[in-house]
Structure formats: C-alpha cells, structure tokens
Structure 1
Amino acid sequence: MTVSLVLLTLGALAAVIAPRLLARADWPEREPVVALWVWQCVVAAVLLCFALAMTFSAAAAWVDVRGHLFAPAPSEVVEAYALGARRPWPAVLAALLAAGGVWTGAMLAREIHRARRQRRRRRDELLVRAPLLPGEEPGDGPLVVLEGERPSASWLPGAAPRLVVTTAALRRLKGRRLDAVLAHEQGHARARHDWLLHCSSALANGFPQVPVFAAFRGEMHRLVELAADDVASRRVGRRTTALALVELNEDRGVFGPSTPPGAELPRRVDRLLDPLPRLTPGRRLRLTAAAALVPAVPLVVAFVPALRALG
C-alpha cells in the first residue's frame, strides 16, 4: 500500500505545483506548440498517478483484483508490494478513485455530446444561410461564405473541417491579410485543437477545485490561439497577421482606451509586432523530451518494488 500512497501524494503535488511552475516560465508564449505538449504530458502524469493508485489500492483491498493484476508475477514480487494486510481504507480509497475515474469519463462524454450537438446546430444554420446548390452535397468544399455585416472567420471542426467567412470579412480584409486569417483558422483545423479544448473543459468542469485542470483549460484556450497565430505568421508574416487581427476585430471594442484588462487579442497583436526570440532548437528538443518523460515517473514509482525484488 505504500506505493498507492506515494502515487497519490505525487499526483496531488503535481496538480498543485506544476501550474505554478509553468505560470512562472517565460518561454510558453515564445513556443506555444511546445507548451501545449508540456501541458498534455503534465495532465497525463497526474491522471496516471491517480489511476495507478486506484489499481494498487484495489489490489490491496480485494484478492480477486490482486490475482488478476499479479497473475504472471513471481511470489517475491507480490510480497514486495505488501498487499496482504487487511485494512479497511484501501477499499475506501480505491472506491473514491474509481468514482473519480467514472466522473471524469462522464464529464468527457458530456463534453463530446455537447460539442457534437453544437456542431450539428452550426451545420444546420449553415444550410439555412448558405443553401446547397443543385448537385452540391453537404460538406462539399472546405470554405463557406456567408452574408453578414460583421466581419467574422471561424472554423467548424469535424471529419471534414470547414472555414466559415462572412462577406463583411471579405470586403474588409484584402490580399495577404485575408490569407492570414484563413491560415490561422486552418492551423486550428490541422492541429485538431478542438480535442484539446474539449478534454481540458471536461476536466475543469468535472474537478473545478483541482488547480492543474483549471489552469489546463485556461492555457489551452490561450496557447491554441498563439499556435495558430504562428502558423499564419510563418505563411504571410507577423505584421500582416497582426494587422489582419486588428481589422477583423476592431468593431468589437477590444482595442483602444476602453480595452478590458487582460484582454488576449491586444496581447496577441503585441506579441506579433514585437516578438521575443524563439528558443534554440536544442532547448526545444530538451523541453519536448523532458515533458515526454514526465508521465513515465508514475510508472517508475509503480515498478520500483518489483524491480527491487527481482534485482
């Protein structure tokens, strides 16, 4: 049972400390794609800690679970985990962690159902506002142009993602600035950022008091926009992308003296116009590799008694 407690403690510490460490780092805005990867690895490590703690607690509480879990293992490995002591709290801990896992699955299922319902509603609205021409099939073409007085560009996720642009946006944005907006939305679609947003929302809604999940949702919404901005800037340039963002959103009151504090769009424009130097390829590689090793820590903790017994 010591392994379960260590894993539970490790997961709790990571859930509290990791968001603070990442919030103090100065590189995520410079490398949003790497930051997205790091956040995913941290959350995966936290979830893995709790899942393994549940597994070992269940093995300590119930003989049948222990028999299935350690069926191929030699007796000295089973003895190394000291799972035979009869105590009531391993069953309680396993039940609580299992309930948390079921609740996580329910929140994710609800988020997916909600996303699919919103997607169907948006597709129905598109059919009303942009009816199909004779011989045209639903989903034909990656671009949909809608009549609208407000400049807008968005992407509709799905098996065949579609870019939705209003005529006002086409009138206001010309040439490479329109290319910048389209490249930004295509960056979202190609990276499937919708899945990151759904998973982070499900965890944050299911466990609002867990710091790492709340921070995960906030950072996903911010970092996916920065990553898409970088996709557009690599195609048409940072200045052009910044001007496109300003022109597309200038009627929404996010620029000027009445800008609310902490507004993301002005910060994104400033980031494009006055970019910080990117990290070196070597440092990006080290960060990526180090993040990939984070989920391995709970596995190492879980296998330490077995390795000692066999060694």
Structure 2
Amino acid sequence: MMVPAALLLLGALAAVVAPRLLARADWPDREPVVALWVWQCVVAAVLLCCVLSMTLSAAAAWQSVRGNVFAPAPPAVVDAYALGATSPWAAATAVALACGGLWSGAMLVREVVRARRRRRLRRAELLVRAPKLPGEESGSDRLVVLEGERPDAWWLAGAAPRLVITTAALRRLQERQLDALLAHEQGHARARHDWLLHCSAALADGFPQVPVFAAFRDEMHRLVELAADDMASRRFGRLTTALALVELNEGRGVFGPGPTPQAHVPQRVHRLLTPPDRLPAIHRLRLTAAAALVPAIPVLVAFVPGLQALH
C-alpha cells in the first residue's frame, strides 16, 4: 500500500501547491493559452493520481482485480508491489476513490445535460423572436439579428452555431468592432472552450471542498475570455477589440463606480489597451513541455517498483 499512499500524497500536494504557484505567477495573463494548457495538465495529474491509487488499492484488496491488472506482468513485478500483504485500508480506499470517480462522471453528465437544456431553450426563444423565412436554411455561421434596446451579443453553440446580436449593438458598434466581436466568439467555438467550462464546473460543483477544482473553474472562465480577446485583437487590433467591449458593456454599470459582478470586463479592457509583453517563444515552449510532463509524474511513481523489479 506504499505506492497508492504515495500517489494520494502526490495528488494532494499538486492540488495545494500548483494553484498557489499559478496565482503568484505573472505570466498567465500574458499567455492565457499556455495557462489554459498548464491548468488542464495540473488537474489531469491530480485525477490521474486518484485513478492509479484506486487501481492499485483494488489490486491489493481483491485477488480478481490483481489478476486482471497484473496479468501480463512477471511474478517479480507483482512481488515488488507487496500486494500480498493486504492492508485493511485497501478496500476502503479503492471503494472511496471509485465512488469519487463515479460522482465526477455524474456531475459531468449533469453539467452537459443542463447546458444542452439551456441551449434548447435559447434556440426556442430565438425561433420565436427571429423566425425562419420560408425556404431559409440554417448555415454553419449564421448571423441572427434581434430587435433589442440593450447592446448584446452571444455565440449559440450546437450543430448549427450562430452569432446572435441585437439591433442596439449593431447601432453602437462600428464595422471593425463588429468583426472583432465575431472573431472573439468564433475563437471560443474553435477552441471548444465550452467543454473546458463544462468539465471545470462539473469538478467544482461535485467537490466544492476541494480548492483546486474551484480555482480551476474560476481560472477557466477568466482565461478563455482573455484567449478569445487575443484571437480577436490579432486580427483587428487591440484598440478595436477594447472599444467593442466598452460599447457592449458601457450601459450595464460594469465600469463602476462601485464593485460589480462583471469586474473582469474593465480588467480585460485595460489589458487590451496596455498589452503586456508576450513571453519569448522558447519560454512558452518550455512551459508547455513542462506542463505536459506533470501528468507523467503519477505514472512514473506507479511504475517505479515494477521497473526496479525488471532491472
């Protein structure tokens, strides 16, 4: 039971240390795409620690599981894990981790079902407010214009994704600002940011006592917006993208004077108007490669006894 315990300790250490290191770093706002990748690798490592610990604990508790897990392995490898000396905690650990895995899957399914329900409701509302004309077909990038006094725009994902924008937004936005808005929303769709939000929300809602999952959800919501802002600004300029954000949100009170629920909007505008220096390409490559190695650490820890036995 030493390896399963070590894996759980490693997962707990990663869950505590990694969010604090990322919170203190100054580069995530400069490189949101890299930061998204790093966060995914950290959470994948934590989950992988739990999966591997569950598997080895189950192998220690039950002979049938052990036979399946170590079927192709020579006897020396099985002996290296000392699975014969069954710990009284092995079965309880395996069952607890398995329940956690099932709960995570259930939370993800619930989040996806809720998202699809919200999407169906919004599509039904859209058909009422903007009915199709006779013979009209839905295109893959259809732009839908709604009558509305409030400037607003959103991307409606699905089999036939479309950008929905109100007439008030069209009156306020200039042509290039509208193009920047479209590029921002298309950036979300192309990068499949919706799946990142679903997964992070499922983990945070399923395990509210685990701070790393709450931080993962909050950072995903923030970083996907920064990444989409960068996609738009690379095509149409930072000033144009910032002005589009201001025009859409100026009437909602998000720019003060007091704190507002959408305080991230002024921060995004400020970031666009005073762009931080990007990291050098070699630095971005190192961060990407280092993050990719993080999920490999639990695998290495799990295989160390077996590899030592083979040598």
Once the two structures are TM-superposed, the CA of residue 157 in structure 1 deviates from its matched residue by 1.3
Take 2:40 and 2:143, find their aligned partners in 1: how far apart are those partners? 31
Q: Structure 2: which amino acid aligns with 1:266?
A: P
Take 2:153 and 2:233, find their aligned partners in 1: how far apart are those partners? 17
Structure 1 contact 153–165 (Cα < 8 Å) conserved: yes
TM-score, normalising length: structure 2: 0.98
Is 1:142 paired with 2:142?
A: yes
Take 2:167 and 2:71, find their aligned partners in 1: how far apart are those partners? 65
Find the counterpart in structure 1 of residue 215 from structure 2: 215
Find the counterpart in structure 1 of residue 8 from structure 2: 8
Take 1:288 and 1:160, find their aligned partners in 2: how far apart are those partners? 33
Once the two structures are TM-superposed, the CA of residue 127 in structure 1 deviates from its matched residue by 0.6
Structure 1 contact 253–259 (Cα < 8 Å) conserved: no
Find the counterpart in structure 1 of residue 68 from structure 2: 68
Take 2:10 and 2:268, find their aligned partners in 1: how far apart are those partners? 35
Find the counterpart in structure 2 of residue 128 from structure 1: 128
Take 1:217 and 1:28, find their aligned partners in 2: how far apart are those partners? 15
- The 5-angstrom pairing of residues 1-311 of structure 1 reads 1-138=1-138, 141-260=141-260, 263-311=263-311
Aligned pairs, number: 311
Once the two structures are TM-superposed, the CA of residue 85 in structure 1 deviates from its matched residue by 1.0
Once the two structures are TM-superposed, the CA of residue 262 in structure 1 deviates from its matched residue by 8.0
Q: Say if 1:16 and 1:262 are closer, same or farther in 2 by CA, change over 3 A.
A: farther
**1:23-66 CA deviation, whole Å, 9 max, x = no partner?**
00100000000000000000000000000000000000000000
Take 2:141 and 2:271, find their aligned partners in 1: how far apart are those partners? 33
Q: Where in structure 1 are there 5+ consecutive unaligned residues?
A: none
Take 2:275 and 2:137, find their aligned partners in 1: how far apart are those partners? 43
TM-score, normalising length: structure 1: 0.98
CA RMSD of superposed structures (Å): 1.2
The worse-fitting range, judged by mean Cα deviation, of 138-147 and 248-257 is 138-147
Take 2:187 and 2:175, find their aligned partners in 1: how far apart are those partners? 19
Q: Structure 1: which amino acid aligns with 2:41?
A: C
Once the two structures are TM-superposed, the CA of residue 136 in structure 1 deviates from its matched residue by 1.6
Identity of aligned residues (%): 76
Q: Where in structure 2 are there 5+ consecutive unaligned residues?
A: none
Once the two structures are TM-superposed, the CA of residue 86 in structure 1 deviates from its matched residue by 2.9
The worse-fitting range, judged by mean Cα deviation, of 49-58 and 177-186 is 177-186
- Where 1:163 maps in the other structure, the secondary structure is strand
Q: Structure 1: which amino acid aligns with 2:171?
A: R
Q: Structure 2: which amino acid aligns with 1:74?
A: P
Take 2:206 and 2:114, find their aligned partners in 1: how far apart are those partners? 14
Structure 2 contact 181–241 (Cα < 8 Å) conserved: yes
- Where 1:275 maps in the other structure, the secondary structure is coil
Q: Say if 1:280 and 1:258 are closer, same or farther in 2 by CA, change over 3 A.
A: same
Once the two structures are TM-superposed, the CA of residue 138 in structure 1 deviates from its matched residue by 4.6
Take 2:205 and 2:137, find their aligned partners in 1: how far apart are those partners? 37
- Where 2:150 maps in the other structure, the secondary structure is coil
Structure 2 contact 61–91 (Cα < 8 Å) conserved: yes
The worse-fitting range, judged by mean Cα deviation, of 233-242 and 258-267 is 258-267
**1:211-232 CA deviation, whole Å, 9 max, x = no partner?**
1100000000000000010011
